[in-house]
DNA sequence: ATGAAAGCGCTAACAC
DNA sequence: GTGTTAGCGCTTTCAT
């Protein structure tokens, strides 16, 4: 139970100065091969690992980034984080993960932690109930870069990386039209979220511009249960839909429960399409046709965008991941 | 774009010494209320946040822990991490997350990062291909506590926290027997995993000790697809099962696909029970009866166990989470 | 009740 | 090619 080896210890054993050891360890060209080797050997033998707290303090280069997500109870954020962690590790960064629980107060607390740790960047997905992003923007004052992802603020000044909401909604709407659906139950999430609005707006545009006789009716479901009931209600109404569009996995899950509950046959009686990360559509039989919005790809994109910011390079402030239709036969 | 406020800056502005400011900030009793208030006010105004790199360096108390998991592509680890992060934050710790991708080499690299960050503890789930835990045990030499969870080493000396596999299997078997099932298709994962063996052994014991006339037949499915086909095959055979037991979520998912594919009515034609984290059983209608092995609860347990270790308190080296039957009506 | 001083482990001018 | 030195921001004796 002793503390870890330090640079000073190595330097003393070898009768060298700390600076020489430091340089040897990072292959500085000034150091003679023979000295370098001696240092490297001893370092390995003593299991020397640099104290990143000291390095971070000295260089203000902590090589740490933080990811703030609302939760981990879906596949989207998990795959996002996987991608970030992978890319980050490759680039020598550690990833600290912070959950907001969709609580703006916890979000603020998380940002405090980011300051305290002197992380170099924050990848943030806004909580559903965040009213102001002021606490985020203030981070820039202390040289912490902020890249928003997925649930991004509408503020055009911010760096954002998100799935191509407009495109995804357009692809789905196009497909519904091409399949000649006449009466599409269109389930969207909370109307106050910008992601909902972007998807909804485009969805409406496509329908009104491309189709004259095809109908859709929009409902907002803020939970799986709400989506489940929305479909059950519509199914029993006089205006039974011939297709359902699900804006998210959460909504798809509710819809599928209703489908099984009412024993609805799809695609026969009802066509189903969703915007999804791709995991849940694969859970059902038949599998569900969906427009893919990959959390993994988004994570890669987000980290790379953040690094560009670190390097001070100019890059687009708003990046959207392109959407892809995956046909599975449910519509 | 200036650096963050430091303690020294505050001390200069108020013409106080750094030590006084430091004490005021942490409510040291020696400090006069008047001074304390002045410091607190200015700190708030300047958005002062202590530099945890400096604190960690000074006190060797980094208040950081690491969690190593194979992946985030299921709900189990996600909920485990959620619990850990919550508990950790409450206790003033940050959680850095490290993915091994089931690769022992990456695992080693992750442990190096733990050393470099001088984390105080590591919560580790072994990768499926880890042959030796030596690199883990060596961490203790530098005062880093290690608590294994879920996939734990068989070494009895290690601190482990896991779900009660034996109990979970027993509860499921008991329930199947009490429901008078005569022909139970029992689906287990890879026979080489210790988790599979613990569950299978107990399952067999319960059936042979408690029931004389009730039958079960075991099959091993190493993927969702394999489970799907196992049920389809059994269903069409001359020995059609009247119940199916799923050892894991992965297997349950495959089973449910087969159920929908063959349009099997449950619980009428087939009873279904699973050992699960609790998310997937809730996805279907009717919902699936399961024996709960909560990743969330396990996370809470693991963190608390680690804190006990930090405090040098004695506690059991091997903790198993108790299993609970959640009846949903699918059997 | 407050201050002075040392030092945690490392890096980076600047010397030689 | 190697050493000296100062200092990153903080805590913590030990004085006063």
* pLDDT tens digits for range B93-125: 999 999 999 999 999 999 999 999 999 999 999
Q: Which of B3, B79, B256 sits opposite A142 (nearest CB)?
A: B3
Please state the pTM of the whole predicted model.
Answer: 0.89
Does the structure show a pLDDT above 90 at B186? yes
B212 Cα to chain A: minimum distance (Å) = 36
**B276-286 mean pLDDT:** 93
| Closest of B153, B216, B144 to residue B180, by C-alpha | B216
A95/B95 touch (CB, cutoff 8 Å), yes or no = no
- Angle at CA B106, nearest 5°, toward B102 and B112? 135
- Residue B324's φ and ψ, nearest 5 degrees, are -135, 135
Q: Under an 8 A CB cutoff, do B253 and A283 touch?
A: yes
- Residue B285 contacts residue A261 (beta carbons within 8 Å): yes
Nucleotides of D under 7 A from a protein CB: 1-13
For chain B, give the mean pLDDT. 93
**Protein CB footprint (7 Å) on chain C nucleotides:** 1-13
The yes-or-no verdict on residue B140 having pLDDT over 80 is yes
Please name the residues in contact with A281: beta carbons below 8 A apart, sequence gap of 6 or more: A252, A274, A287, A288, A289, A290, A326, A328, A330
DSSP code of residue B209: H
Amino acid A1: pLDDT: 55
What does the pLDDT look like over B205-248, one tens digit per residue? 999 998 778 899 999 999 999 999 999 999 999 999 999 999 99
Report CB contact under 8 Å: A257, B284: yes
B58: the nucleotide nearest its CA (via C1') is: C8
State residue A193's pLDDT score. Answer: 83
Q: Could you state, in chain order, the average pLDDT of each consecutive group of 10 residues for chain A (331 residues)?
A: 86 93 91 92 95 95 96 90 96 95 95 96 93 94 95 90 94 95 95 89 93 87 96 95 96 97 95 94 96 94 96 91 94 93
d(CA A230, CA A252): 12
Which residue's CA lies closest to nucleotide C7 at its C1' atom? B58
Contact (CB, 8 A) for B186 and B153: no
| Residue predicted with more confidence, A211 or B182 | B182
Nearest Cα residue in chain A from B75:
A73
**Closest residue in A to B93 (Cα–Cα):** A113
CB pairs under 8 A between A and B: 147
* pLDDT digits 0-9 by tens, B42-78: 999 999 999 999 999 999 999 999 999 999 987 899 9
pLDDT above 70 (res B1): no
Say if CB A261 and CB A255 are below 8 A apart: no
Average pLDDT over residues B193-199: 87
- Listed residue (B328, B320, B229, B242) closest to B286, CA to CA: B328
Predicted local confidence at residue B75, as pLDDT: 84
Do A117 and B50 lie within an 8 Å CB cutoff?
no
């Amino acid at each position: 139970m002793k503390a870890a080896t330090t640079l000073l210890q190595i330097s003393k054993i070898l009768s060298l100065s700390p600076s020489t050891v430091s340089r040897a360890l990072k292959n500085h060209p000034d150091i003679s091969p023979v000295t370098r080797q001696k240092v490297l050997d001893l370092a390995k033998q003593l299991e020397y690992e640099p104290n990143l707290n000291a390095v971070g303090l000295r260089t203000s280069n902590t090589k740490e980034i933080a990811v703030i997500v609302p939760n981990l109870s879906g596949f989207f954020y998990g795959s996002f984080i996987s991608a970030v962690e992978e890319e980050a590790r490759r680039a020598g960064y550690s990833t600290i993960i912070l959950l907001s629980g969709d609580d703006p107060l916890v979000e603020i607390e998380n940002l405090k932690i980011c300051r305290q740790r002197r992380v170099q960047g924050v990848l943030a997905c806004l909580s559903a109930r965040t009213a102001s992003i002021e606490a985020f923007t203030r981070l820039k004052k202390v040289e912490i870069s902020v890249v928003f992802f997925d649930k991004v603020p509408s503020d055009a000044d911010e760096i954002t990386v998100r799935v191509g909401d407009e495109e995804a909604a357009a692809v789905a709407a196009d497909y519904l039209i091409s399949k000649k659906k006449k009466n599409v139950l269109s389930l969207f999430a909370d109307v106050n979220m910008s992601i909902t609005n972007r998807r909804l707006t485009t969805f409406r545009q496509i329908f009104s511009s491309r189709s004259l006789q095809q109908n859709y009716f929009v409902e907002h479901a803020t939970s799986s249960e709400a989506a489940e009931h929305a479909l059950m209600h519509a199914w029993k109404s006089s205006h039974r839909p011939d297709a359902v569009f699900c804006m998210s996995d959460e909504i798809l899950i509710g819809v599928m429960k209703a489908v099984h509950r009412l024993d609805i046959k799809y695609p026969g009686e009802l066509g189903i399409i969703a915007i999804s990360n791709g995991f849940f559509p694969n859970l059902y039989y038949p599998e569900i046709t969906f427009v893919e919005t990959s959390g993994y790809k988004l994570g890669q994109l987000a980290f790379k965008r953040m690094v560009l910011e670190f390097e001070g390079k100019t890059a687009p402030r708003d990046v959207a991941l392109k959407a892809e239709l995956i046909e599975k036969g449910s519509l």
